[in-house]
């Protein structure tokens, strides 16, 4: 066994749930209201369109992973097929994205626990959660995969149950005095496309952000048993499952409730369960959202620690980050990322007392992960074009469909979404912070290159 080789203990079942866990979370439970506000019932088409882009990104990744299933895969592809600066930015974008998201998820867990224990301190519960997840990640990759499998399964079962109940309300009037709700809410409150083309494209930014994280399959491949078989099975099933869960859940919401009244009813997930007589609805959804937040933080620690490991292998940071525990886990990377989340958690507690409005700054930082989160998608699509030129794929069993047209279509769609994020006042600040982050990291890379030459 090579000294620096990670353990290959993740099954296809765990890989699929890890990708689901990284994608189905607060983006669906919390982000849906913003997208519906911008574009109304046509948000269903927006989720489907973004799902098409996601499918193309994952197929492009799958084609390369089948040949080279390495840890930190898309960082390696960026370095090899684009430029070393692309690999550097991709790795640090992933670390930045998951650090910020991890902090937010842990804070969310504290708030959800307040539902049952109002007097408990958010920072205390946050510390317990981070330490627990850190230990799970340090124990073994198998322990991490199993924990993430059950986190994701709770969310999946809840969403399936909600879709089934919602269809019973729509078709048979369950919980509505047996008067079917029907489908008229999809068009009878200002039409289907209530926000026009602009509102439709505005919504894509939040939807794409909520889909971000599924590319974690490219990181887990380096620690999967039978990676080729696991990659093909995972990618084939994961996109379909995500689309069913997202589009199915949103369809139920905008069909049962008039889209322009959603802001008045609170959580549509809670209301849908309450409508059919499940009185513990708020508690159930609160528990599911808590596990969703823990799942997001768990995926974040795993993904970003593997990126630090990859940076260590490339000598971009200290080689100490490549040291493995007896369970073949990059323990220093896991501890550093967990510590970073803890520091963010503490800052979130301290800043409001020191600086007025700091909570708004935190929200700004959280949303600033959207642009860095898009970097791996761009890199995967562009790397795949160069990969085709460098490799003979005539007998490849899992080729990117309609290459290169599909690659260019997805790239242009992402660029248009970014342009509209710059136009939208609500997403302008997050784009600016993302651009500054990428510019700073590019400058650091160039300085390092110059120093090495000297």
Crossing angle between the packed helical segments 141-172 and 227-256, to the nearest 10 degrees: 30
**pTM of the complete model:** 0.84
Question: What tokens were used for 87?
Answer: 């690999």
Q: Which residues of the chain have pLDDT under 50?
A: 1-3, 358-361
Report pLDDT digits (tens) over 188-218.
Answer: 888 888 888 888 998 888 888 878 877 777 6
Helix (H) or strand (E) holding 306: helix 281-313
**What contacts 23, CB < 8 A, 6 or more positions away?**
210, 211, 212, 213, 214, 242
Question: What pLDDT is stored for residue 295 in this prediction?
Answer: 82
pLDDT at position 360, please? Answer: 46
pLDDT at 52: 93
**pLDDT reported for residue 358:** 46
Cis peptide before 404 (omega within 30 of 0): yes
Contact criterion met (CB below 8 Å) for 388 and 403: yes
Cα(261)–Cα(259) distance, integer angstroms: 6
CA neighbours closer than 13 Å in the CB half-sphere of residue 338? 22
pLDDT at 110: 77
Q: Look at the chain and count its residues.
A: 454
Domain architecture of the chain: domains with CATH: 12-447 (1.20.1740.10)
Which residue has tokens 């809670």?
A: 270
Report which DSSP code applies to 330. -
40 torsion bin: left (phi>0), alpha (psi -120 to 50), beta (else):
left
- The sign of the dihedral angle between the CA atoms of 63, 231, 3, 333 is positive
First to last CA, the chain: 37
**DSSP per residue over 122-179, as a string?**
HHHHHHHHHHHHHHHHHH-HHHHHHHHHHHHHHHHHHHHHHHHHHHHHHHH-TTTTT-
Q: How many CB atoms within 10 Å of residue 271? A: 17
How far are the Cα atoms of 21, 158, 266, 398 from residue 291, in angstroms, in the given order? 10, 11, 20, 34
């Amino acid at each position: 066994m090579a000294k620096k080789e990670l353990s290959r203990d993740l099954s296809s079942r765990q890989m699929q749930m890890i990708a689901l866990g990284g994608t189905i979370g607060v983006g669906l439970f919390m982000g849906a209201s913003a997208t519906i506000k911008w574009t109304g019932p046509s948000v269903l088409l927006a989720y489907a369109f973004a799902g098409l882009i996601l499918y193309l990104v994952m197929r492009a990744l799958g084609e390369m992973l089948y040949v080279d299933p390495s840890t930190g895969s898309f960082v390696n592809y960026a370095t090899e097929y684009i430029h070393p600066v692309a690999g550097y930015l991709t790795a640090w974008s992933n670390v930045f994205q998951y650090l910020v998201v991890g902090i937010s998820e842990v804070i969310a867990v504290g708030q959800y626990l307040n539902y049952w224990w109002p007097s408990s301190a958010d920072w205390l519960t946050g510390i317990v959660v981070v330490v627990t997840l850190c230990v799970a990640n340090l124990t073994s990759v198998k322990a991490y995969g199993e924990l993430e499998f059950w986190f994701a399964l709770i969310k999946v079962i809840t969403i399936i149950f909600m879709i089934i109940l919602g269809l019973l309300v729509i078709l048979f009037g369950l919980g509505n005095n047996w008067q079917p709700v029907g489908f008229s809410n999809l068009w009878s409150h200002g039409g289907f496309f209530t926000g026009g083309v602009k509102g439709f494209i505005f919504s894509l930014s939040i939807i794409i952000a909520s889909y971000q994280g599924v590319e974690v399959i490219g990181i887990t491949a380096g620690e999967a048993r039978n990676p080729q078989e696991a990659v093909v099975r995972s990618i084939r099933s994961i996109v379909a499952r995500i689309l069913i869960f997202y589009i199915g859940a949103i369809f139920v919401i905008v069909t049962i409730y008039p889209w322009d009244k959603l802001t008045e009813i609170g959580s549509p997930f809670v209301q849908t369960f309450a409508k059919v007589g499940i009185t513990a609805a708020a508690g159930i959804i609160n528990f599911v959202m808590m596990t969703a937040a823990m799942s997001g933080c768990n995926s974040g620690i795993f993904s970003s620690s593997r990126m630090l490991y990859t940076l260590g292998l490339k000598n971009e940071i200290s080689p100490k980050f490549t040291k493995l525990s007896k369970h073949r886990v990059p323990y220093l990377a896991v501890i550093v990322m967990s510590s970073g989340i803890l520091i963010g958690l503490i800052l979130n507690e301290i800043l409001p007392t020191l600086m007025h409005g700091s909570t708004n700054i935190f929200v700004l930082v959280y949303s600033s992960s959207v642009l860095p989160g898009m970097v791996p998608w761009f890199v995967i699509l562009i790397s795949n074009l160069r990969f085709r030129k460098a490799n003979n794929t005539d007998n490849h069993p899992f080729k990117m469909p309609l290459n290169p047209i599909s690659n260019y279509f997805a790239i242009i769609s992402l660029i248009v979404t970014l342009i509209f994020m710059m136009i939208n006042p609500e997403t302008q600040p997050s784009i600016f912070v993302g651009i500054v982050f990428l510019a700073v990291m590019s400058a650091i890379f160039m300085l390092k290159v110059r120093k090495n030459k000297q």
